[in-house]
Chain A
Amino acid sequence: MRRKNLNRIIRGFVLAAYFLCGVPVWAQTPSQPTTSTQAAPAPVLNAPFPVKEANPPSAEEMAKGDASGSLTGNVNDITVSNPKVGLTLADTLNQVGQNKVAINFVWTLITGFLVMFMQAGFAAVETGLCRAKNANHTMMMNFMVYGIGLFAYWVCGFALQMGGAAGVSSLGGAAPLSGEFALHIAGKTWGLWGTHGFFLTQGGTYDVAVMVLFLFEMVFMDTAATIVTGGCAERWKFAAFAVSSVFLAAITYPLFANWAWGGGWLSQLGANYGLGAGYADFAGSGVVHAVGGLSALAVAIIVGPRIGKYNRDGSSNAIPGHDITMVLIGCFILAFGWFGFNPGSTLGASGSLRIATIAVDTMLAGATGTFGAVFYMWIRYGKPDASMGGNGLLAGLVAITAPSGFVNTIGAAIIGLIAGVVVCLSVEYIDRVAHIDDPVGAISVHGTCGLWGVLSVGLFADGTGIGGVKGLFYGDAGQLVAQMIGVATLLGFVFTLSFVFNLLVDYFVGQRVSPQAELEGLDIPEMGALGYPEFVLKMQGPGMAAGTA
């Protein structure tokens, strides 16, 4: 009896030893390579597929209705290319590919629609921060910039920006966008602008993927264009605004966007000069916001401050907006639209599940941006200022736009918090030191915080995000240098180009309204109708008696 038990125990040990040692060895031993001839024969792509094995619901079952939702969408819904042969593997694979691209089309279009709705947010914020006597004028600039920008971008802006950006795999390639004008300097290629896509027909660009890309990129460009209207509000001539916006949409914005997103030289700094992954601007802190903010700075310098903004000794007067509720509702609309701006910049949901992190980064940075601005104002001035709270939210969102695809949530929170404080400091500097009148804080929110967002990629990118971009804090100083070259390009090229264009507009059209029109309010002189015709408005400005406008 004891022997039997002992034998069992020994057998058990041997068996255990076999499994403990033998099985892992078996698992790690490379298996014999199997060739396709040894394995099951390769399926013939065009052979009929056994549809019945998929157990599709019968017509009778479908006729009863699908209350649970478990029957709708099955093998019967796959498009069959040849009804005589029936469903084939080729049909199934084509359907899989088309479904992937379709998901990405829908994602990109819907996020583009969200970004388009940001125009309403900008209109509300800017109008609310202006005086009631300029409400119609400010609202109309925000309204018209959409159509003006869209038209100019359709004519040539899109082609200059994306004409050489072929290879957008998430959207099926966008192959017709294959023309990039480039210079070859010191053995390197410097892409400068695209050459396909004028009027969305030239160069074979009458193409569905190109259309999706156009819609998405157009609403981004329009965001940049509408930023300028805020910085120059309450004294900008409507005709000058229209011409200036055409320049921005057709030339200034597309050139920089090509360099960053369209395969141009900035995006190639990594491949050509070993600077990280090249200039990285995921959703456009630089391309969209800094371009808009710096253009606003250029026009604001040319146009000059509003009458009554500064005293003769240089001290500034606060000119409060007329509707803070409109401002904060506009900020919420913008924050909502930003979920299109940043996650949508993946240009697809299928295969780009990073969209979840990007969305969370976006909301976090917006929140910490608000904290930063509100606490700064509270500590410095004793009250949590509402308009700066709104600007803090936007500053955080602007700053996270470039790094949202590359940073973790801690990085996003820090970037937003810094932006919230930076926007307050920048507003004070622009207003009191530089004596530049910016009624809505557009230069600080979009210009300064846009530049901070670009630099933050070079610091906080953790290497796990899109393209493996890694910043200084994660071991790649080259990325920071690439970002700094991007900042220098924004300041030195974009600002200068915008300034020169607007100088021409000033010469031929005139940028500023007459002092009489400015004091009266621009609604009647420029637009012919008041924004609030049944309200009694108080006239402001030196030498103006109180009365109705």
Chain B
Amino acid sequence: MGGRKNFNYLETEMKFIGLLLAVCGWLLPVASLTWTSSLAARFIFALIGIALCLTGILGFLNRAYAKEAIWKK
């Protein structure tokens, strides 16, 4: 029972981190508009932002849900 609780706690954490990464991935390139006027820097920030979003959604959020997927039970 305790193991199950830890397992759920980990999943909830993963979900939260996933959403946080996705939001940060959006805010980073948007905020960079005010930090720098360099096109190359803005391009890199946008690229990092997209990578963060995808990592958050597919790497954390989806994996957290996959841990408790119906086909694993």
Q: Which residues of A contact B (CB under 8 A)?
A: 185-186, 269, 272-275, 297, 301-302, 304-305, 307, 309-312, 314, 434-436, 477-478, 480-481, 484-485, 487-489, 491-493, 495-496, 499-500, 515
Contact = CB atoms under 8 A, between A and B. Distances in A.
B29 A485 contact: yes
Contacts of A495: 22, 53, 57
Contacts of B5: none
A140 B13 CA distance: 37
A493 B26 contact: yes
A488 B72 contact: no
Contacts of B30: 485, 488-489
A14 B24 CA distance: 80
A346 to B, nearest CB: 29
B10 interface: no
A491 B53 contact: yes
Nearest to B54: A491
B65 A481 contact: no
Nearest to A497: B23
Contacts of B47: 484
A435 B42 CA distance: 33
A305 B71 contact: yes
A304 B37 CA distance: 43
Interface string B3-44: 000000000000000010011111111100110010100110
Contacts of B72: 312
A24 to B, nearest CB: 46
Contacts of B57: 297, 491, 495
Interface residue range, chain B: 20 to 34
B50 A484 contact: yes
B46 A481 contact: yes
25 contacts: A274-B37, A302-B65, A304-B65, A305-B69, A310-B71, A312-B72, A435-B62, A435-B69, A480-B43, A481-B39, A484-B47, A485-B30, A485-B33, A487-B46, A488-B29, A488-B46, A489-B26, A491-B22, A491-B50, A491-B57, A492-B22, A492-B25, A495-B53, A496-B23, A499-B61
A495 B62 CA distance: 12
Q: Which 3 A-B pairs have the closest CB atoms?
A: A492-B26, A491-B53, A484-B46
A473 to B, nearest CB: 15
B62 to A, nearest CB: 5
A268 to B, nearest CB: 11
Contact of A301 (B27, B46, B49, B65): B65
A307 B69 CA distance: 10
Give the most central of A481, A495, A515: most B CB within 10 Å: A481
A59 B10 CA distance: 87
B19 A499 contact: yes
Contacts of A272: 33
Contact of B25 (A309, A488, A499): A488
Nearest to A235: B70
B71 A311 contact: yes
A515 B72 CA distance: 15
A273 B57 CA distance: 29
B19 A478 contact: no
A485 B19 CA distance: 18
A418 B62 CA distance: 26
Contacts of B19: 496, 499-500
B69 A492 contact: no
A387 to B, nearest CB: 23
A72 B20 CA distance: 66
A304 B73 CA distance: 13
Given A480-B43, A484-B49, A496-B26, 15 more contacts: A273-B37, A274-B37, A309-B71, A312-B71, A435-B62, A477-B43, A484-B46, A488-B26, A488-B53, A491-B22, A491-B54, A491-B57, A492-B49, A492-B52, A496-B19
Given A434-B58, A491-B22, A484 B70 contact: no
Contacts of B28: 488
A307 B70 contact: yes
Nearest to A480: B43
B39 A304 contact: no
A302 B70 CA distance: 12
Contact of B70 (A301, A305, A481): A305
Give the most central of A478, A491, A499: most B CB within 10 Å: A491
B51 to A, nearest CB: 10
Nearest to B61: A301
Given A185-B34, A492-B27, A304 B43 contact: no
Nearest to A185: B34
A435 B66 contact: yes
B43 A310 contact: no
A307 B72 CA distance: 11
B65 A491 contact: no
Contacts of A314: 71
A309 B33 CA distance: 44
Give the most central of B19, B33, B66, B69: most A CB within 10 Å: B33
Contacts of A436: 62
B45 to A, nearest CB: 9
A488 B27 CA distance: 8
Nearest to B32: A485
A495 B50 CA distance: 12
Contacts of B23: 492-493, 496
